[in-house]
Amino acid sequence: MERRIAQYRPSNRPPAWERVADEVRNTIARAAPTTTYRARDLLTALTRIAVFADQQGHPVDARLWLDPAMVEHFTAIGCTDVGEASRANYRAALTTIRTAVFGPDLPGGRPIPLSGSDPSQPYTPHQKADLWAWAGGQSTAELRRGLILLLALGLGCGLDTHEIIPLRGPDVRTLEDGATVVAVRGNRSRLVICSRPFERTLAEAAEHAGTSYLFRSASFARKSNTVTDLVYRAAHDPRVPRLVMGRCRATWLIERMDACIPLPVLLASAGLDSLHALSRLLPFLKSASADQARTILREMP
């Protein structure tokens, strides 16, 4: 078994494989699968999330790959080429690896049910309005405040789940011209300008948080399920699409790609270092008629 793990290579050999290979093999060896079939399944799942994390600019670290928030992010937007059943299998395999290697005490939380819709598909303006009304209509102040803030950070700033958790009140600043800026922490640290419709929400949340955590300031255990647990507890309305932070970020990205923001500006704001992560969004961009395309191309210098 050890020899098979040591010799494993994915069939498609993505460019990131050489960077993550040793960590993938060592982690699966520590998980100690008992059959060749099971080893292959675990290697495949860990390789996919490792390559996904590498493309997002994260360091080569199995603990980070297997963090429940990363697993949720991966199953939401990192494997859109497979069906719901395969995504569920990946999630289960990664949970098995995490438990075997790091023990049952590594924070887990309850996973959000997988949606049958494409996690890269942006929310429509009508769906965004429905989500806002749904968040504001929850039964408790904690749920209302938390969900509205998630929408502001996701739809207004394009932040991922793991970028939201460590934010503190002072990370949100209002500039002299009224613009609201979020200083993102971590490996993709950067300044993000919040879109105008969400400025007031963020400014009020920062004032309420003071020097404490911006999201769920009363929750001092910043586990990876800090976000997913709140969404899980919210009352679901079948007329409203589920709140998925990956879809919020996809919506934010697509809206800015449609607005023809210069790519270096977009990549810097999104915390990306390549265009690869944007390729999955291409099917959802606005198209132009033949006449519009001809005019645009002809007028180029």
134 shares a domain with 240? yes
Type of residue at 205: A
In this structure, the answer to whether residues 15 and 143 fall within a common structural domain is: no
Smallest CA-to-CA distance from 48 within 84, 82, 3 is with: 82
Residue 235's closest CA among 137, 110, 103, 91? 137
Among 102, 133, 152, give the residue marking a domain's end.
102
At residue 206, the pLDDT reads 95
How far apart are alpha carbons 202 and 185 in whole angstroms?
16
Orientation angle between helical segments 17-31 and 36-55, nearest 10 degrees: 140
Q: What is the CATH number of the domain that holds 244?
A: 1.10.443.10
Supply the range of the domain harboring residue 66: 2-102
Amino acid in the structure at residue 271: G
pTM exceeds 0.85, yes or no: no
Task: Specify the pLDDT at position 108.
Answer: 47
Return the pLDDT at 164: 92
**Angle, vertex CA 53, rays to CA 48 and CA 55, nearest 5:** 95
Element (H, E) at 37: helix 36-55
Q: What is the mean pLDDT of each run of 10 residues along the chain (301 residues)?
A: 85 85 92 86 92 82 86 80 82 89 59 51 91 93 94 95 91 93 91 95 94 87 76 86 89 92 92 82 82 81 79
Q: Looking at residue 115, what is its pLDDT?
A: 47
Statement to judge: residues 48 and 91 lie in one domain? yes
Interior/surface letters 175-205, b for 16+ CB within 10 angstroms, e for the rest: eeeeebbbebeeebeeebebbeebbebbbeb
Residue-level pLDDT at 105: 52
Q: What is the pLDDT of residue 118?
A: 55
Residues 226 and 130 in one domain: yes
Say yes or no: 166 and 263 in one domain. yes
pLDDT recorded at residue 175:
92
Do 187 and 96 lie in one domain? The reply is no
Residue 290, domain member (yes or no): no
